[in-house]
């Protein structure tokens, strides 16, 4: 790790100001950034911690649904969202291990947009709104491919607002080593339709499976998608699974998520 | 009533107090005044010629004290292989020198070609980065695949070795023609090609070394993560550095697991000693996890074709194997013994097989060196054999339990000389098989399978009946087989004046629990509390000698030495007691901690005798030296032969290919058991590692020799939820006939017997699910591979 300066502001405004300095970078739970720095693959001049900002912490019901502060750790979401949005709480409770869940945050996760991360599927699958220091971004506009988002230079995620579906579930198939999602599917049934978001599978990062959404909106049951096929084109192929294998998982896990949804 | 102390008691592991409360002292915990930090500069290419290393910029960086390159060690000796293997044609193996730092060429990703020493670790890291940038390496085509390596004479890992072949070994060469004939005549021949996957040992504690040099005395000290400090001292002193052994102390303090990878001497150990001498300051190095992945000796990595000739009824007539064994870029210390004498000699298994022939070609590649890893050679033999027997059962529609039973040696056949050069002293393989069948509730399997099916899962059951040769090893025998060292062990039992005891053992404990078990034995034999016995290990300045811990040898060999030393203590105690009690020595008996005169109530306690030995006021000084301390060396008369039967039950998810091990039964014969709880723990660990190899662990190099699985993000270690609650039994005991404790060794068993049981279970599940086209899946049997096999 190279040397760096560290600052821990207590308001969003102070954080944004600190981040405008040359070489400054936001630090949330550090579960991605710190290992990268240890491997000397990142060398920020200043780390601006977002974890001391009260407005970016916590889970509460509010306008538009469930509001989660961007610096809220996964463990807190697992605990405090359970009564409001059990599928989301279960997803948070299945990320990494206890140490990761007590440091890693929802804001860090969706800012990073790892193609194998869990949260992006919940944000996209719920049609959530990503709130930043500048604007509100619809989930459909926010995720723009592997490790790429709509965030601009100096823009930070401050909270995420989740509409609450009638029923939902997240089913994750673990990559055997990292236990990130080799493929994970988030299914949410709203009054006006079903959303299906897939993580871990595609070279373009998290995506919605439109055919399944249409079929499930008509008939919310696993058999409704039995006749669909998933195109392996554009799926990730690596040591842990070929594109064809991931395409298979997308379908299998979607069916299981529909069955598990509550 | 189970005993609560002494031999056979499940005494709690005394070392756990310090391990579990953070009070252990590992190499990296040692902090010395004025210490400097070493960082190794490692190759990022698998194969390349070093064109130029410009050290000037790195050397001028802040805090940098010294820079070393291969040039600095060109004159010192190489790290030797411990075994000389001869090829079938009688020529000795090709044995390239393994330098402290790569010189001229780099031969695998992670091969260290330079080192930087600085005041702080970060300064050394910075300078190492600079040095790497100032190094020019001409990349050469990487040699990764073994078949290609031996086929392509133009591309060489070592320029002087034309075909990348270390040796071409035949065991037993004289039997080859007879085996070929038997195979030809066999009514049925089963053929299986399989890969025994390469494993990264991944000890929890990474390797670490600290070198010290005292210019006033010329003494060196090496504190290092070693399973065998005396062997390391021998290698460093006599072979690599040319230091007299009396001027080098090697200390292996608490060591956080080794599994084989810390048997060997590594270049970093010589480097820190040389640097300490040059700087006159202690120099320390600790591997980062990435370095462990790249530079620890890996395990296994065999590609094997096995043929089995049999009758239609499943009687095994002949076995023939051809194996390519990867030794990696350099010969690590045991690397030539592992695929040969620890592998070929086990190819008859626990069966009566008249004809066996094993051929092993050891191949150099541009990958990390491969050496002994928990089980070492024996898991490879067991896997080949138990998989091909399973395949035979499927081809001939025979019951795998009955086929095993038909071929297993029977108790009346011991001692039994195998066609591959071993003499099994004792065993009862039917008993462990019956035990496993009972405990694994084989009778209830169909019901469980139906229940799984109702949940959409395929349930399968797999069996392996395994044997190993451990308690390594009779020196005269291994000498004939090519070993360059003896494999005895030693212990000193020092009775202190106040009657408590320090035992210095050559065996080194790095998680096994020796400090508890060895103390139990001494306490039982001398009739004193366990708490009065201290076990001291891991320091060449304190212990007499020893060959260390590996090959399930600690108790069988070093424990026997210790037991012998206790015999000597008791014999001397009798002399002292005879004098004090004014009786004839022959009339003194020793039991329950008391020396007594037969037929009288006259007695002296062990403590009184000890005191008298050190305060010899009333003592036969004319005929007996004062003091009570004895050393014994023990050289085993034979290997020991633990054996057992393992039954694994899996559930396969046919939609995803995911395999869950849902039940595992291990019935083992370890001879006499000194501490059942610790034995059970060793089996748990070994079975866990076996499941890891079978289902999770994949070491993958791409065609350029880059390690694709170089971190825990991609290298899957088994986790707690990957393994079931095990059923473990060791009640079917046939004590070893040739060591005084009757023990056989239990450390490697699980890692040996487990992988074929797991894979056999997966194949069984798929067949039961109607996927009879699947005859084999190579390990690790990952979800993706199972799914491909199902859909292939
Ligand atoms: C062992 C392990 C296992 C894991 N397993 C899983 C898993 O199973 N599933 C899963 O989804 N994830 C997993 N993770 C990832 C983890 O959940 C974290 O969510 C993730 O590392 C990022 O969150 P963080 O708070 O740690 O972000 P940080 O590491 O602090 O930051 C990540 C990046 O986001 C930027 N950033 C952080 N916060 C903001 C913000 N509010 N606005 C803008 N940019 C920001 C940072 O500058 C940095 O570039 C795992 C991580 C580890 C170490």
- Does residue B120 belong to the interface with chain A, where contact is any CB pair within 8 Å? no
| Distance between first and last Cα of chain B | 56
Whether A64 and A113 share a structural domain: yes
Mutational test site, ligand 1, from A4, A24, A32, A105, max ligand atoms within 8 Å of CB:
A32
Q: Which atom of ligand 1 is nearest to the CA of A28?
A: 30
Pocket of ligand 1 from Cβ distances under 6 Å: A 25-33, 50, 70, 95-96, 100, 104-105, 107-109, 111-112, 117-119, 151, 156-157, 179-180
Q: Give the domain extent around A228.
A: 167-261
**What span, in angstroms and rounded, lies between the C-alpha atoms of B357 and B421?**
11
Whether B497 and B624 share a structural domain: yes
Helices (DSSP H) in B455-503: which residue ranges? 475-480
CATH of the domain at B236: 3.90.1170.50
Task: Find the mean pLDDT for residues B147-151.
Answer: 94
Whether A95 and A154 share a structural domain: yes
Residue B152 forms part of a structural domain: no
Q: Count the residues in chain B.
A: 792
3-state secondary structure B511-546: CCCHHHHHHHHHHHHHCCCHHHEEEEECECCCCCCC
Whether A64 and A42 share a structural domain: no
Q: Give the domain extent around B116.
A: 27-140+204-257+262-295
Whether B232 and B110 share a structural domain: yes
- Does residue A7 belong to the interface with chain B, where contact is any CB pair within 8 Å? no
**What span, in angstroms and rounded, lies between the C-alpha atoms of A189 and A258?**
9
Determine contact, residues B106/B47, Cβ cutoff 8 Å: yes
Determine contact, residues B317/B357, Cβ cutoff 8 Å: no
**What span, in angstroms and rounded, lies between the C-alpha atoms of B512 and B588?**
37
Mutational test site, ligand 1, from A15, A41, A51, A112, max ligand atoms within 8 Å of CB:
A112
Q: Which atom of ligand 1 is nearest to the CA of A33?
A: 29
Whether A60 and A114 share a structural domain: yes
Pairing state between β A207-208 and B629-634: unpaired
Centroid of ligand 1 to alpha carbon of A210 (angstroms): 28
Residues from chain A that touch B698, judged by Cβ atoms under 8 A, are 239
Task: Find the mean pLDDT for residues B344-361.
Answer: 98
What is the total count of domains within chain B?
Answer: 3
Closest partner residue to B713 among A3, A178, A248, by Cβ?
A178
Whether A192 and A222 share a structural domain: yes
Q: What b/e readout covers B190-220, taking b as 16+ CB neighbours within 10 angstroms?
A: bebebebbbbbbbbebbbbbbbbbeeeeeeb
**Confidence bin at B153 (pLDDT 50/70/90):** confident
Displacement of CA B459 from its chain's centroid (Å): 33
Element (H, E) at B20: helix B15-20
Taking the C-alpha atoms of B288, B293, B295 and B299 in order, what is their torsion angle to the nearest 10 degrees? Answer: 140
Paired strand residues for B429: none
The pLDDT of residue A37 is 96
Whether B291 and B314 share a structural domain: no
Residue B433 forms part of a structural domain: yes
Name the 3-class secondary structure at B60: coil
Q: How far is B710 from chain A (nearest CA, A)?
A: 11
Handedness of CA B400, B406, B407, B411 (dihedral sign): positive
**What span, in angstroms and rounded, lies between the C-alpha atoms of B605 and B611?**
10
The pLDDT of residue B792 is 83
Task: Find the mean pLDDT for residues A203-214.
Answer: 98
- Does residue B715 belong to the interface with chain A, where contact is any CB pair within 8 Å? yes
Contact A249 B656 (CB under 8 A): yes
User: Considering chain B, what is the average pLDDT of its residues?
Assistant: 97
| % of chain B exceeding 70 in pLDDT | 100
Closest partner residue to A239 among B657, B696, B700, by Cβ?
B700
Give rounded-to-5 percent helix, strand, coil for chain B: 30, 25, 45
Whether B615 and B630 share a structural domain: yes
Of all protein residues, the one whose alpha carbon is nearest to atom 31 of ligand 1 is A108
**Confidence bin at B152 (pLDDT 50/70/90):** confident
Element (H, E) at B310: strand B302-310
* A99-146 pLDDT, tens digit each: 999 999 999 999 999 999 999 999 999 999 999 999 999 999 999 999
Whether B330 and B276 share a structural domain: no
Closest partner residue to A177 among B129, B658, B715, by Cβ?
B715
Residue B478 forms part of a structural domain: no
Residues from chain A that touch B658, judged by Cβ atoms under 8 A, are 173
Contact A240 B656 (CB under 8 A): no
Residues from chain A that touch B123, judged by Cβ atoms under 8 A, are none
Q: What b/e readout covers A47-85, taking b as 16+ CB neighbours within 10 angstroms?
A: bbbbbebeebbebeeeeebbbbbbbbbbbbbbebbeeeb
Q: How far is B282 from chain A (nearest CA, A)?
A: 24
DSSP state of B555: I
Residues from chain B that touch A239, judged by Cβ atoms under 8 A, are 698, 700, 708-709, 714
Centroid of ligand 1 to alpha carbon of A31 (angstroms): 5
Whether A58 and A147 share a structural domain: yes
Helices (DSSP H) in chain A: which residue ranges? 12-19, 33-38, 74-80, 86-93, 98-103, 106-112, 119-126, 139-142, 210-218, 243-260
**What span, in angstroms and rounded, lies between the C-alpha atoms of B618 and A149?**
90
CATH of the domain at A242: 3.30.390.50
Q: What is the DSSP string of B652-698?
A: E-TTT--EEEEEEEEEEE-BS-S-HHHHHHHHHHHHHHHHIIIII--
Among A225, A239, A240, A244, most B C-beta atoms within 10 A, so best to mutate, is A239
pLDDT of B1 over the 80 cut: no
Mutational test site, ligand 1, from A21, A31, A151, max ligand atoms within 8 Å of CB:
A31
Residues from chain A that touch B717, judged by Cβ atoms under 8 A, are 177
Mutational test site, ligand 1, from A12, A41, A75, A100, max ligand atoms within 8 Å of CB:
A100
pTM of this structure: 0.97
Contact B787 A245 (CB under 8 A): yes
Spatial CA neighbour of B387 closest among B449, B328, B307: B307
**What span, in angstroms and rounded, lies between the C-alpha atoms of B93 and B324?**
15
Residue B462 forms part of a structural domain: yes
pLDDT of A91 over the 90 cut: yes
Contact A245 B717 (CB under 8 A): no
Pairing state between β A46-49 and A24-27: parallel
**Confidence bin at B252 (pLDDT 50/70/90):** very high
Whether A60 and A150 share a structural domain: yes
Whether A74 and A146 share a structural domain: yes
* B503-529 pLDDT, tens digit each: 999 999 999 999 999 999 999 999 999
Whether B731 and B651 share a structural domain: yes
Whether A120 and A82 share a structural domain: yes
Q: How far is A144 from chain B (nearest CA, A)?
A: 24
Spatial CA neighbour of B93 closest among B428, B461, B361: B361
Centroid of ligand 1 to alpha carbon of A48 (angstroms): 15
The pLDDT of residue B721 is 94
Paired strand residues for B302: B196, B325
**Confidence bin at B97 (pLDDT 50/70/90):** confident
Centroid of ligand 1 to alpha carbon of A114 (angstroms): 8
Q: How far is B461 from chain A (nearest CA, A)?
A: 23
The pLDDT of residue B775 is 97
Q: Which residues contact A137 (CB under 8 A, 6 or more apart)?
A: A129, A130, A131, A150
Of all protein residues, the one whose alpha carbon is nearest to atom 28 of ligand 1 is A30
The pLDDT of residue A138 is 98
The pLDDT of residue B16 is 96
Q: How far is B716 from chain A (nearest CA, A)?
A: 4
Of all protein residues, the one whose alpha carbon is nearest to atom 1 of ligand 1 is A96
**Confidence bin at B76 (pLDDT 50/70/90):** confident
Paired strand residues for A61: A66
Taking the C-alpha atoms of A109, A115, A119 and A124 in order, what is their torsion angle to the nearest 10 degrees? Answer: 120
Whether A62 and A153 share a structural domain: yes
Residues from chain A that touch B716, judged by Cβ atoms under 8 A, are 176-177
Among A176, A184, A200, A252, most B C-beta atoms within 10 A, so best to mutate, is A176
Whether B39 and B109 share a structural domain: yes
Sheet holding A167-174, edge to edge: A167-174, A181-190, A193-199, A207-208
Whether B707 and B744 share a structural domain: yes
| Chain A, window 173-212: residues with a beta carbon less than 8 angstroms from a chain B beta carbon | 173, 176-178
Longest CA–CA separation in chain B, Å: 86
∠B366-B372-B374 over CA atoms, to 5°?
A: 130
Whether B277 and B210 share a structural domain: yes
Whether B432 and B512 share a structural domain: no
Determine contact, residues A195/A176, Cβ cutoff 8 Å: no
Displacement of CA B43 from its chain's centroid (Å): 28
Handedness of CA B51, B57, B61, B67 (dihedral sign): positive
Determine contact, residues B269/B224, Cβ cutoff 8 Å: yes
Name the 3-class secondary structure at B364: strand
Displacement of CA B248 from its chain's centroid (Å): 26
The pLDDT of residue A195 is 98
Q: Which atom of ligand 1 is nearest to the CA of A174?
A: 8
Last residue of a domain, one of A162, A178, A198: A162
Determine contact, residues A255/A222, Cβ cutoff 8 Å: yes
Last residue of a domain, one of B248, B280, B295: B295
Whether B458 and B606 share a structural domain: no
Contact A245 B125 (CB under 8 A): no
The pLDDT of residue B26 is 98
pLDDT of B83 over the 90 cut: yes
**What span, in angstroms and rounded, lies between the C-alpha atoms of A54 and A71?**
9
Task: Find the mean pLDDT for residues B99-105.
Answer: 96
pLDDT of B128 over the 80 cut: yes
User: Considering chain A, what is the average pLDDT of its residues?
Assistant: 97
Phi-psi group of B480: left, alpha or beta (phi > 0 → left; psi -120 to 50 → alpha; rest → beta): alpha
The pLDDT of residue B154 is 87
Whether B66 and B133 share a structural domain: yes
> How many inter-chain contacts (A to B, CB under 8 Å) are there?
45
DSSP state of B627: S
Determine contact, residues B304/B380, Cβ cutoff 8 Å: yes
The pLDDT of residue A1 is 87
CATH of the domain at B730: 3.30.365.10
Residue B545 forms part of a structural domain: yes
Last residue of a domain, one of B274, B295, B316: B295
* B406-429 pLDDT, tens digit each: 999 999 999 999 999 999 999 999
**What span, in angstroms and rounded, lies between the C-alpha atoms of B440 and B725?**
12
Spatial CA neighbour of A105 closest among A174, A36, A56, A41: A56
Whether A80 and A147 share a structural domain: yes
What is the total count of domains within chain A?
Answer: 3
Residue B172 forms part of a structural domain: no
The alpha carbons of chain A give a radius of gyration, in whole angstroms, of 18
Last residue of a domain, one of B634, B664, B679: B634
Contact B709 A173 (CB under 8 A): no
CATH of the domain at A45: 3.30.43.10
Centroid of ligand 1 to alpha carbon of A60 (angstroms): 22
The pLDDT of residue B323 is 98
* B174-222 pLDDT, tens digit each: 999 999 999 999 999 999 999 999 999 999 999 999 999 999 999 999 9
The pLDDT of residue B119 is 98
- Does residue B655 belong to the interface with chain A, where contact is any CB pair within 8 Å? yes
Whether A197 and A221 share a structural domain: yes
Helices (DSSP H) in B545-595: which residue ranges? 560-580
Contact A242 B784 (CB under 8 A): yes
Q: Which residues contact B146 (CB under 8 A, 6 or more apart)?
A: B303, B324, B326, B363, B365
Q: Which residues contact B790 (CB under 8 A, 6 or more apart)?
A: B654, B657, B766, B771, B774
Residue B646 forms part of a structural domain: yes
Question: In Å, what is the CA distance from B177 to each residue of A86, A179, B187?
Answer: 70, 51, 18
């Amino acid at each position: 790790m190279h040397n760096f300066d560290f600052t821990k502001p207590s308001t969003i405004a102070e954080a944004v100001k600190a981040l405008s300095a040359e070489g400054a970078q936001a630090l949330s739970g550090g579960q991605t950034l710190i290992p990268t720095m240890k491997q000397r693959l990142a060398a920020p001049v200043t780390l601006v911690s977002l974890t001391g900002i009260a407005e970016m912490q916590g889970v509460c019901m509010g306008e538009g649904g469930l509001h989660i502060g961007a610096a809220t750790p996964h463990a807190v979401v697992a605990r405090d969202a359970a009564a409001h949005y059990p599928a989301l709480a279960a997803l948070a409770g299945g990320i990494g291990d206890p140490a990761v869940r007590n440091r890693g945050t929802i804001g860090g996760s969706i800012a990073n947009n790892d193609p194998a991360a869990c949260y992006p599927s919940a944000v996209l699958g719920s049609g959530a709104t990503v709130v930043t220091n500048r604007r509100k971004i619809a989930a459909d506009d926010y995720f723009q491919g592997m490790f790429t988002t709509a965030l601009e230079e100096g823009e930070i995620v401050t909270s995420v607002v989740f509409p609450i579906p009638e029923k939902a579930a997240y089913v994750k198939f673990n990559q055997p080593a990292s236990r990130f999602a080799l493929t994970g599917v988030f299914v949410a049934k709203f009054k006006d339709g079903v959303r299906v978001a897939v993580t871990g599978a595609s070279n373009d990062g998290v995506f919605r499976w439109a055919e399944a959404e249409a079929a499930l909106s008509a008939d919310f049951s696993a058999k409704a998608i039995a006749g669909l096929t998933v195109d392996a084109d554009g799926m990730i192929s690596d040591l842990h699974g070929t594109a064809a294998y991931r395409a298979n998982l997308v379908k299998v896990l979607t069916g299981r998520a529909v069955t598990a949804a509550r | 009533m189970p005993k609560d102390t002494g031999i056979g008691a499940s005494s709690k592991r005394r070392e756990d107090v310090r391990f579990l409360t953070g009070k252990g002292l590992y190499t990296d915990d040692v902090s010395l005044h004025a210490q400097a930090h070493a960082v190794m500069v490692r190759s990022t290419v698998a194969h390349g010629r070093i064109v130029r290393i410009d050290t000037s910029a790195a050397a001028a960086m802040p805090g940098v004290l010294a820079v070393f390159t291969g040039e600095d060690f060109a004159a010192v000796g190489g790290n030797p292989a411990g075994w000389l293997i001869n090829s079938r044609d009688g020529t000795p193996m090709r044995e390239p020198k393994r330098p402290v730092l790569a010189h001229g060429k780099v031969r695998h990703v992670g091969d260290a070609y330079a080192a930087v020493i600085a005041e702080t670790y970060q300064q050394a890291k910075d300078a190492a980065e600079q040095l790497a940038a100032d190094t020019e390496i001409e990349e050469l085509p990487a040699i990764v695949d073994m078949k290609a390596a031996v086929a392509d004479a133009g591309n060489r890992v070592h320029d002087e070795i034309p075909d990348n072949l270390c040796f071409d070994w035949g065991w037993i060469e004289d039997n080859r023609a007879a085996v070929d004939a038997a195979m030809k005549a066999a009514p049925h021949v089963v053929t299986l090609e399989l890969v025994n996957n390469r494993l990264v040992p991944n000890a929890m504690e990474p390797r670490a070394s600290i070198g010290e040099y005292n210019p006033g005395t010329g003494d060196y000290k090496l504190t290092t993560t070693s399973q065998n400090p005396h062997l390391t001292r021998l290698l460093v002193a006599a072979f690599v550095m040319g230091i007299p052994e009396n001027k080098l102390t090697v200390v292996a303090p608490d060591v956080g697991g080794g599994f084989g990878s810390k048997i060997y001497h590594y270049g970093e150990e010589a480097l820190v000693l040389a640097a300490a001498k040059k700087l006159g300051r202690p120099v320390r190095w600790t591997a980062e996890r990435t370095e462990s992945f790249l530079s620890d000796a890996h395990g296994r990595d065999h590609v094997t074709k096995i043929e089995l000739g049999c009758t239609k009824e499943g009687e095994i007539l002949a076995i023939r194997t051809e194996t390519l064994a990867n030794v990696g870029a350099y010969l690590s210390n045991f690397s030539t013994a592992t695929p040969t004498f620890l592998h070929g000699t086990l190819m008859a298994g626990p069966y009566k097989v008249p004809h066996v022939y094993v051929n092993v070609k050891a191949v150099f590649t541009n990958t990390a060196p491969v050496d002994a890893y928990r089980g070492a050679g024996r898991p490879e033999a067991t896997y080949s054999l138990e998989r091909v027997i399973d395949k035979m059962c499927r081809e001939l529609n025979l019951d795998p339990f009955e086929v095993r039973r038909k071929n297993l040696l029977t108790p009346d056949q011991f001692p039994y000389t195998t066609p591959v050069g071993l003499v099994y002293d004792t065993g009862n393989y039917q008993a462990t098989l019956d035990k496993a069948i009972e405990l694994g509730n084989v009778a209830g399997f169909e019901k469980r399978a139906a229940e799984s099916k109702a949940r959409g899962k395929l349930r399968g059951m797999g069996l392996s009946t395994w044997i190993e040769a451990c308690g390594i090893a009779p020196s005269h025998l291994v000498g004939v087989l090519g070993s360059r060292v003896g494999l005895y062990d030693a212990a000193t039992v020092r009775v202190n004046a106040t009657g408590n005891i320090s035992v210095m053992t050559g065996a080194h404990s790095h998680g096994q629990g020796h400090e508890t078990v060895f103390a139990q034995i001494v306490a039982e034999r001398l009739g004193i509390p366990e708490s009065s016995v201290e076990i001291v290990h891991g320091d060449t300045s304190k212990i007499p000698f020893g060959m260390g811990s590996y090959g399930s040898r600690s108790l069988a060999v070093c424990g026997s030495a210790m037991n012998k030393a206790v015999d000597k203590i008791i014999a001397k105690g009798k002399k002292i007691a005879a004098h004090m009690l004014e009786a004839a020595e022959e009339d003194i008996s020793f039991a329950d901690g008391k020396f007594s005169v037969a037929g009288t109530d006259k007695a002296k306690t062990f403590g009184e005798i000890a005191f008298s030995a050190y305060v010899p006021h009333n003592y036969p000084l004319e005929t007996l030296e004062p003091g009570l301390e004895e050393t014994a060396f023990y050289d085993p008369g034979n290997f020991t032969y633990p054996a057992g039967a393992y039954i694994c039950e899996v559930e396969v998810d046919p939609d995803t290919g995911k395999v869950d091990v849902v039940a595992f039964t291990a019935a083992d014969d370890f001879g006499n058991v000194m501490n059942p709880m610790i034995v059970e723990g060793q089996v748990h660990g070994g079975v866990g590692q076996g499941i890891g190899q079978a289902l999770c662990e994949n070491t993958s190099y791409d065609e350029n020799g880059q390690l694709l699985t170089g971190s825990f993000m991609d290298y899957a270690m088994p986790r707690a939820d990957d393994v079931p609650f095990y059923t473990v039994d060791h009640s079917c005991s046939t004590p070893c006939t040739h060591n005084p404790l009757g023990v056989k060794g239990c450390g490697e068993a699980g890692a040996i017997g487990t992988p074929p049981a797991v894979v056999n279970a997966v194949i069984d599940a798929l067949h039961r699910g109607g996927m009879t086209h699947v005859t084999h899946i190579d390990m690790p049997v990952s979800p993706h591979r199972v799914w491909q096999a199902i859909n292939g």
